[in-house]
Amino acid sequence: MVKVGIIGATGYAGGELVRLLLSHKEVEIKWYGSQSYIDKKYSEVYQNMFQIVDEICMGDNMEELAEQVDVIFTATPQGYCASLVTEEVLSKVKVIDLSADFRIKDVDIYEEWYQIKHPSASFIEEAVYGLCEINRDKLKDARLIANPGCYPTCSTLTIYPLLKEGLIDPSSIIIDAKSGVSGAGRGAKLDNLYCEVNENIKAYGVATHRHTPEIEEQLGYACGEKVVLNFTPHLIPMNRGILITSYASLRNGVTEEMVKDAYHKYYDDEYFVRVLEGSNCPQTKWVEGSNYVDINYKIDKRTGRIIMMGAMDNLVKGAAGQAIQNMNLLFGLPENMGLQQVPLFP
């Protein structure tokens, strides 16, 4: 049994970690951390857990926690995990950080986009970016895993094969993203009130969203050159789900066949990535509650561009599910253990 501690267990991503880990048969949750609800029963914060979880919420002492568990998940605001991690901690326990603290290799870029000073930049180099389908081998031996952001996970998986195979022009990439509201977290903010979000759609963080450099870095690795792209997220009146609609110019001579082959080359053996058939477009509802990413594309011969689409559940493959996928890799468990939920429809 893998003994697990969660710091930040009462946010939406933390709650999803609990939901998924409870059905993982090789895991035991030892620590429900939540600074805000300390000493309160976890099931009073999340009443869906009533009679399922009896534990109370604990504080965030990472050093104490490192003695008790095998792996710590941190689902906390930016800067927090980085302020807790030490060499001593990492010598005792694996850390999977769901925040952005260790995702970006260039600390200057991190500090510029997040507008905070990185408190433990020395661990950035060691941290492995936890996009399992791409970094699987490196992840197995990591001590510190930077679990990818929701938009970067979906964007990177959707575009990666074509960029890796050199079929699209990296300078032409535009990503138009749409997310459900749970991605904004459980904080009590006016902008996330029901009446403000419902029956409404808007773009936000246009040309300034913090996931932009993360996506650019990962896609840069795919094509071996610096990628600069447009990324525009939108808020959609639904609880869960991310849809990526991305555009790029096909390189000269690229055929439909070559595109199809590229997707199948990288994803035919991937349990969680489903390349749809025919002209079926990914829909977020078809993956809700599961760790799947559904991907498909359409070539527009009139413009020479390809439209690449990807859908996933932002709280599962975009956060908690992928974190557990990383944990499975770390502990030598089957990668899809505890993650075989069939999507919930309707």
| 115 is a site residue for a copy of itself (CB under 8 A) | no
| CA distance linking residue 315 with residue 343, whole number of Å | 13
**Nearer Cβ to a copy of itself, position 78 or 239?**
239
Cα 88 from chain centroid (whole Å): 27
Query: By CB under 8 A, how many residues form the interface with a copy of itself?
Result: 84
Contacts with a copy of itself in 258-287 (CB under 8 A)? 274, 276-277, 279-287
Contact residues for 192 (Cβ-Cβ < 8 A; gap 6+): 181, 184, 185
* Minimum distance, C-beta of residue 312 to a copy of itself, in the bound complex (Å): 12
**Nearer Cβ to a copy of itself, position 92 or 211?**
211
Residue in 125, 141, 195, 253 binding a copy of itself, rule: CB under 8 A: 195
**Nearer Cβ to a copy of itself, position 97 or 288?**
288
Residue in 2, 9, 19, 150 binding a copy of itself, rule: CB under 8 A: 19
> For a copy of itself, what does the binding mask look like between residues 33 and 62, x meaning CB under 8 A?
-------------xxxxxxx----------
| CA distance linking residue 237 with residue 193, whole number of Å | 11
- Rounded to the nearest 10 degrees, the angle between the axes of helix 132-139 and helix 150-164 is 90
Give me the catalytic one of 150, 154, 195, 281.
Answer: 150
Encoded amino acid at 168, one letter = I
For residues 266 and 165, the answer to whether their CB atoms sit within 8 Å is no
| 340 is a site residue for a copy of itself (CB under 8 A) | yes
* Minimum distance, C-beta of residue 36 to a copy of itself, in the bound complex (Å): 11
Stretch of 84-92, 130-138, 174-182, 325-333 lying at the interface with a copy of itself (CB under 8 A): 174-182
Active site residue 57: no
| 63 is a site residue for a copy of itself (CB under 8 A) | no
Contacts 24+ apart (CB under 8 A), 330-334: 330/71, 330/94, 330/96, 330/139, 330/140, 330/142, 330/145, 331/2, 331/26, 331/70, 331/71, 332/140, 333/2, 333/26
The per-residue b/e assignment along 216-238, b for 16 or more CB within 10 angstroms, e otherwise, is bbbbbbbbeeebebebbbebbeb
| 202 is a site residue for a copy of itself (CB under 8 A) | yes
* Minimum distance, C-beta of residue 247 to a copy of itself, in the bound complex (Å): 5
Instruction: List phi, psi (to 5°) of 254.
Output: -75, 130
Residue in 228, 256, 265, 334 binding a copy of itself, rule: CB under 8 A: 228
* Minimum distance, C-beta of residue 71 to a copy of itself, in the bound complex (Å): 20
Instruction: List phi, psi (to 5°) of 82.
Output: -60, -25
H or E segment at 126?
Answer: none
Stretch of 79-87, 132-140, 161-169, 228-236 lying at the interface with a copy of itself (CB under 8 A): 228-236
| 194 is a site residue for a copy of itself (CB under 8 A) | yes
* Minimum distance, C-beta of residue 171 to a copy of itself, in the bound complex (Å): 8
Residue in 56, 90, 258, 299 binding a copy of itself, rule: CB under 8 A: 299
Tell the residue number behind the tokens 């690795």, with chain if given. 221
| 121 is a site residue for a copy of itself (CB under 8 A) | no
**Nearer Cβ to a copy of itself, position 68 or 303?**
303
* Minimum distance, C-beta of residue 297 to a copy of itself, in the bound complex (Å): 9
Encoded amino acid at 268, one letter = D
H or E segment at 311?
Answer: strand 305-312
| 241 is a site residue for a copy of itself (CB under 8 A) | yes
H or E segment at 274?
Answer: strand 273-275
Catalytic residues: 150
